[in-house]
Each structure stands twice: as structure tokens, then as C-alpha cells.
Amino acid sequence: MTTLPTTRATRAPLVRPPLSPPSLARAASTIVWRNLLHIRRMPEMLLDVTVQSVMFVLLFAYVFGGAIAVAGSDYREFLLPGIMVQTMVFSSAVVATGLTNDLQKGIVDRFRSLPIPRSAVLVGRSISSLIHSSIGVAVMGLTGLLIGWRIRNGVVDGVLAFLLLLLFGFAVIWLGIWVGSIMRTVEAVQGFMFTVMFPLTFVANTFAPTESMPTWLRFVAEWNPISAVTQACRELWGNGLPAPADAAWPLQHAVPVSVGWSLLLTAVFAPLAVSAFRRRSRD
Amino acid sequence: MGGTAAVEAVDLVKHFGTNRAVDGVSFVVPEGTVLGLLGPNGAGKTTLVRMLTTLSVPTSGTGRVAGFDVVTQPNEVRRSMGLTGQAATVDEILTGAENLRLVGALYGLPRAYVRDATERLLDRFDLTDAADRMAKTYSGGMRRRLDLAVSLLAAPPILFLDEPTTGLDPKSRSGLWAVLRELVDEGTTLLLTTQYLEEADQLADEIVVVDKGKVIAAGTPTQLKDEAGRASVVITLTHARDLAAAADLVRAHSPEVHVDRTGRRVTARAGGLGDMTRIAAAFEASGIELDDLGLARPSLDDVFLHLTGHRAEDAEDTEEAEPGPITEGAAP
């Protein structure tokens, strides 16, 4: 193959050094490094949580916002927590497309042929997706500050709300892994996730108060986990009034209910996701 | 150490629903040797490799790599082998050097070793200039070479190669063969799958022919070619009217003669170059006009036709890399 002069040293056979198979933490962080390199090489991967979300903020704050009446609060204050939860929910689509892509291209097989803990691929993928979404949340926060959103309740509550967002993001990531393991192509995953995610994030209190919705729809919206998390963030950040007295039970206890929803979603989707991923990568 | 089994398949079976992709396959690859798994698309070659490399769990049967069971000791198996899959599984967004660094970290190899090995492997595979370019800018041949370099990073004693040269041009193919021969000289055990008899012939000590999930023949390349029928002399006439006379003439030199009327061709089983020269001389003396006369060696198709009675349903998209029957002047 080559007629280039090569030194004797480069031609000598490699001698295998002692292998020390990596721990889960080391293997997963290597995979995170690799996934983040992808983002650095293709910053357009972040469009979904940056430009797209900023566009949402501007559209709702300036186009629809004037027509949406929010009791006791400025609409922009009301909007920001909703958009942040939506950004977090979209991380399930991020994890699903990334995973399907790796499965399709045989990268997962390459990883699985190496002596690493079995769960490293999923753990690495989840962490990098959370980082991906967190970048989105940070961009939202800065955009919010520019247009008048503020954290009014002190540092502890403020940080608590961000942690709640991360916890909820972690829960919906399992849904993404499940979908990503079942579907065969990236296009199918994107189609499916956006058909499901858009109505889910809109039939909620994210963009408009639920009080004006028809009774049945209001019921659905108020039991939507996304509404509880949004309400919890609003309360912790001091954006707007507590839920109205006639709102459904989850909104009356938004913070503990959000934690509960996150744990419940994880309990339901994590086993489904792990078994679908195993099945997909066994054959 | 010599004589112990590096890879062992014992009655391996894999069913996908009702499809028996692999249906009871057994073979042994002794340490330091090369086994060629030969078969057409869909014969079950890839499934066999996936089972032996722990990517797929067998429906039944046993696989052992370096003495470790592929089902109960997958991590020991993964530490003992390298795999170059059918689709070059390099990360397109990472550079060549980063691909090696990624896999080095996942093997848990020392950093200094990875740095040194990366440099040497990139040099060995002619990729030094492309080391800092994203792999998506690589040609098909370069990707294959990078994939192989990645598989060799931890210097595994056993290497699995699934159709390593499918889709490569002849020059890249022979370059890859040269590298594989070096590895064998260094003591690596190879198990490679291929659709090309020529490739198995060039590299393998032992060939196992699979079709429809079953082993249909096994032996050294020479044994297999003998079984498939030896070389034949193929004579193409200028005029169809000479066919009968030509056939009579050839029969004096060969026990088995076949006449193809539409192709104006006479095919005769031959022992080698000597037979071809004698037949050529006889035509020279007879005055029958010829378009062509040559020696053809058995192809994968011939082996299959002989062993199974059906043609190898070959890939249609790999024509450029298909060696096919070779007409040449040298005796096999």
C-alpha cells in the first residue's frame, strides 16, 4: 500500500500494554467528551435549544403576549418558566435522535465491542443531552433577563427551580431513549418526537393560563406533568401568582408534585428504555 | 501455545423470528492462523461474526474466543479481540486521531501508549496527513483503513474482519491484504468473512464455506478449488460452423468438454498451463480461426455451483470489487 520510506520504529509491531478496563464514570465521561465534540464541530446541533427557543420567546412575548391576559403578572414573567420547561422536554428528542444515529451508523456496536460497562453508552448519552438542554436553559435565562424576567425569591429557591428542571429533564430523557431504541431512522424519530412534544408542551400552562380553556381540556392541561413543573418554577422564582383556587390538585402542590412526576416518569420509562435498548442491541 | 483454539464455534444457531440466519455452525480457528468464512450475501457470515464478538446473543450453541465463552464472559472476550465491522464504524465527526483516542480511552489504555500507537498506526495506514481531518472527509478506502487502525489499537491477539475489502478498488484491496499478512506474521489470529474466493485464497489457511446458515464445505483453499473443478481452458471461435470440429479436437486433450453454441465457446477441463499450451498448439495446426483462448480458474460462483447446485446470489452493488473468473496465462 505504501512505498513511503518508513522508520523501523513505526513498523515494529505494537506490544499490548496492560489493560485496565475503565469504570462506568470514566467510560461515560469519555462518551460525553465525544458527544460534546460533535456539538463543537456542528454548533447547528444547538439550534433547537437556542435560536428556536429565543424565537419562541420573542414570538410569544411580543406577538401573542399582548392578547394573553395573565392575572397578577407581566406576561413575560409568566412565559419564561414555561419556555424553559419546554426546552427541557425537548431534550428527550435530542437524546432520541443522537441514539438512533449512533445505532444506525454502527457506533453503538463499536462501543459494545469494547470492554466497557454496558450502561456507559446510555449514561454518556443522557449526560450529554442534559448538558445540551442546559445550554438552552442558560440561553433562555439570558434572553429572559434582557426582556424583563427576574428571579424574585432568593438564591435557594432560584437554584431549586433549576435543579427541578434538571430532574424533570432526566425523567423525559428515558422516554427519548425508549423512542430512540425502537425507531429505525433519525427522520422517524424527529417526526414522532415533534408530533408528540408540541401538543404536550402546548396543552399545559406553559404559554397561556389554563383558566380560559374548555373544562375537559383544562383538566388535561392541569394534570399534564409539564404544567406542574412550570407552576413549580413560577412559584420558586416568584413569577406570578399561585395557582387559582379552582385549579386541579397537582397545581396546588406544584413543587412536590413535580418531583413526584419526575420519579414516576423515570420509574415507568427507564425499564422500558433499558429493555428496548438491550433488545435493539442484542441481535 | 501453538495448536490451541483462538476461536471456536460449536453448533452456533441464530434465529430471527422464522429466519434461520445461522443454523448450526461449528469450526475451530487455531492460534496464529487465518480462517476465511466464505459465502454469498445473506449466508449468515455477519451474524456469525456478531455472535462471536458478543454483539449478538446466540439462540443456541457455544462460541469461545481466547477460551472465553461469548455469552457468560463477554468482557474477557472483548478484551481479547478486535473487530472491523462491515460498515466502517468510525465516528465521522471526529478526526482520525480523535477516533483512535476515543477507543484508546474506552479500552483503558495508558495515554502515553495511545499517543505512540496512534502515530504508528496512522503512519502504517497512510493516514498521517489526514490525521486531523474529520473522518467524513475520508474516501471509502481511508475509512476502512482507519477502522482497521482503530481495531488494532490495543494490539488484540485475535482480529475479526467482516468483509474488509467489499467496495474497495483493487489497489486498496491488495494494500489491505499486505497489511493483514504482516499482522499474521506478527502472530495475530484472523477470522475474516468474504464473498470473494480470491481473497480467501490469498489470505486464509483454512476456508469454511457457508450458505443459508449452514457450513457446506471446509478445507484449505487448494482442497476447495480441487473440489470445485480444476482450471478450464476456454476457447472462443470466430465462426460457429467450426464448433463440432473444435470440440473433437479438444476432446483429444481433455476428459470433459462443454460446447456453448450461442457464445461460440468450447470449455474444457484442464490440468493447467501444460494442457492449455497443447490445446493451443493443436488449434494452431488445425487452421480453425479463434477469437480467444485462455485459462479460467474456478470462481466463487463455480465453487457454489459445484457445492450447492445454485449460483451465489451475489451483491449487485459491489461489481467494481468483484474479481470474477480470471483468465490468465499462468498455471494455478
User: Is A158 contained in some domain?
Assistant: yes
Within this chain, do residues B56 and B198 fall inside the same structural domain, yes or no? yes
The angle formed by the CA atoms of residues B93, B96 and B102, to the nearest 5 degrees, is 75
Residue B315, domain CATH = 3.30.70.980
Number of domains making up chain A: 1
Give the span between the Cα atoms of A78 and A63, in whole angstroms.
15
How confident is the model at residue A172, as a pLDDT?
Answer: 94
Contact A21, B103 (CB under 8 A): no
Nearest residue, CB atoms, B93 vs list A4, A11, A38? A38
Q: Is A113 close to B123, i.e. CB distance below 8 A?
A: no
pLDDT band at A46, cuts 50/70/90?
confident
pLDDT band at B228, cuts 50/70/90?
low
Radius of gyration in angstroms for the set of CA atoms belonging to chain A, rounded to a whole number = 22
How confident is the model at residue B217, as a pLDDT?
Answer: 87
Distance from the Cα of A114 to chain B's closest Cα (Å) equals 5
Within this chain, do residues B104 and B180 fall inside the same structural domain, yes or no? yes
Within this chain, do residues B212 and B73 fall inside the same structural domain, yes or no? yes
Q: In A, which residues are within 8 Å of B152 by CB distance?
A: 14
HEC string for B239-285: CHHHHHHHHHHHHCCCCCEEEECCCCEEEEECCCHHHHHHHHHHHHH
Q: Is the per-residue pLDDT at B165 higher than 70?
A: yes
Number of domains making up chain B: 2
> In this predicted model, what pLDDT tens digit does every residue of B84-117 receive, in sequence order?
987 768 999 999 999 999 999 999 999 999 999 9
Q: Is the per-residue pLDDT at B226 higher than 80?
A: no
User: Is A163 contained in some domain?
Assistant: yes
Distance from the Cα of B237 to chain A's closest Cα (Å) equals 40
Q: Which of B157, B147, B144 is nearest to B68 (CA)?
A: B157
How confident is the model at residue B314, as a pLDDT?
Answer: 43
pLDDT band at B312, cuts 50/70/90?
low
How confident is the model at residue B197, as a pLDDT?
Answer: 79
How confident is the model at residue B309, as a pLDDT?
Answer: 62
Within this chain, do residues B29 and B106 fall inside the same structural domain, yes or no? yes
Within this chain, do residues B171 and B232 fall inside the same structural domain, yes or no? no
Give the span between the Cα atoms of B279 and B292, in whole angstroms.
12
Give the span between the Cα atoms of A6 and B177, in whole angstroms.
19
The residue to which cell 445550554 is assigned: A135
If you measure CA to CA, which chain A residue comes closest to B117?
A: A14
Strands B19-30 and B158-162: unpaired
Give me the domain span that covers residue A88. Answer: 44-280
> In this predicted model, what pLDDT tens digit does every residue of B191-209 receive, in sequence order?
999 988 788 888 999 999 9
Q: Is B152 close to A14, i.e. CB distance below 8 A?
A: yes
Other Cβ atoms closer than 10 A to A255: 18
How confident is the model at residue A181, as a pLDDT?
Answer: 92
Q: In B, which residues are within 8 Å of A283 by CB distance?
A: 16, 56-57
The amino acid occupying position B295 is L
If you measure CA to CA, which chain B residue comes closest to A41?
A: B93
Average pLDDT, chain B: 85
Give the span between the Cα atoms of A97 and A179, in whole angstroms.
9
Average pLDDT, chain A: 88
Residue B178, domain CATH = 3.40.50.300
Q: In A, which residues are within 8 Å of B110 by CB distance?
A: 17
How confident is the model at residue B152, as a pLDDT?
Answer: 92
Orientation angle between helical segments A155-182 and A225-237, nearest 10 degrees: 160
The residue to which cell 462518551 is assigned: A31
Q: What percent of chain B has pLDDT over 90?
A: 47
Within this chain, do residues B246 and B174 fall inside the same structural domain, yes or no? no
Q: In B, which residues are within 8 Å of A27 by CB distance?
A: 106
**A59-68, B98-107, B292-301: range with highest mean pLDDT:** B98-107
How confident is the model at residue B202, as a pLDDT?
Answer: 87
How confident is the model at residue B254, as a pLDDT?
Answer: 82
A159 to A134, A163, A170, B90: CA distances (angstroms) = 13, 6, 17, 40
Single out the residue in B220, B244, B266 at which a domain terminates.
B220
> In this predicted model, what pLDDT tens digit does every residue of A246-255 receive, in sequence order?
889 999 999 9
Q: Is the per-residue pLDDT at A170 higher than 80?
A: yes
Give the span between the Cα atoms of B68 and B80, in whole angstroms.
9
Within this chain, do residues B247 and B291 fall inside the same structural domain, yes or no? yes
Lowest-pLDDT choice from A221-225, A228-232, B221-225? B221-225
pLDDT band at B229, cuts 50/70/90?
low
Distance from the Cα of B34 to chain A's closest Cα (Å) equals 18
Within this chain, do residues B247 and B151 fall inside the same structural domain, yes or no? no
Give me the domain span that covers residue B144. Answer: 5-220
pLDDT band at A9, cuts 50/70/90?
very low
Q: Is residue A156 classed as helix, strand or coil in its secondary structure?
A: helix
Q: Is B91 close to A113, i.e. CB distance below 8 A?
A: no
Nearest residue, CB atoms, A19 vs list B55, B89, B108? B108
Length reported for chain B = 332
Q: Which residues of A81-96 are buried (b: 16+ CB within 10 A; e: fewer)?
A: bbbbbbbbbbbbbbbb
Q: Which of B70, B71, B89, B119 to mutate to test the interface with A (most CBs of A within 10 A)?
A: B89
Q: Is the per-residue pLDDT at B306 higher than 80?
A: no
Within this chain, do residues B165 and B262 fall inside the same structural domain, yes or no? no
Nearest residue, CB atoms, A6 vs list B54, B87, B123? B123
Q: Is the per-residue pLDDT at A1 higher than 60?
A: no
Q: Is the per-residue pLDDT at A72 higher than 80?
A: no
Q: Which one-letter DSSP state was computed for residue A118? A: T
Q: Is B108 close to A26, i.e. CB distance below 8 A?
A: yes
User: Is A10 contained in some domain?
Assistant: no
Q: Is B155 close to A15, i.e. CB distance below 8 A?
A: yes
Within this chain, do residues B116 and B39 fall inside the same structural domain, yes or no? yes
Q: Is A113 close to B55, i.e. CB distance below 8 A?
A: yes
Q: Is the per-residue pLDDT at B319 higher than 60?
A: no
How confident is the model at residue A236, as a pLDDT?
Answer: 93
How confident is the model at residue A264, as a pLDDT?
Answer: 97
Single out the residue in B195, B220, B245 at which a domain terminates.
B220
HSE, CB side, 13 Å, CA atoms: give it for residue A174. 18
Distance from the Cα of A93 to chain B's closest Cα (Å) equals 20
Single out the residue in B181, B201, B220 at which a domain terminates.
B220
> In this predicted model, what pLDDT tens digit does every residue of B4-23 receive, in sequence order?
899 999 999 999 988 899 99
Total beta-carbon pairs less than 8 A apart between chain A and chain B:
109
